[in-house]
Amino acid sequence: MPWQTTWRSRHMTAQAALAQLGVGAQVYLGGNAATPRHLARILAERADLAPGMTLSHVLLLGDD
């Protein structure tokens, strides 16, 4: 199966990805240039969708 088919089957919005996290989910965000800023923003705005979530990172550069 081509990678594009796999990618298309897994592609979703940040909100949809967050909605799939269960209670007490552990999320790690990579740092520096690899930080998925849009996902980080949605995680901050909609943390109510993942109660008890633990967000870990080494270093995040961006807006405070």
Q: What are phi and psi of 55, to 5 degrees?
A: -110, 120
Whether 53 contacts 20, CB under 8 Å:
no
CA 1 – CA 25 distance, rounded (Å): 30
pLDDT at 6 over 80: yes
The gap between the terminal CA atoms of the chain, to the nearest Å, is 42
Contact at 8 Å (CB) between 53 and 47?
yes
Report percent pLDDT > 90 for the chain.
20
pTM exceeds cut of 0.85: no
pLDDT one-digit tens code per residue, 7-38: 999 999 988 888 888 889 998 887 667 778 88
By the 8 A CB rule, do 55 and 18 touch? no
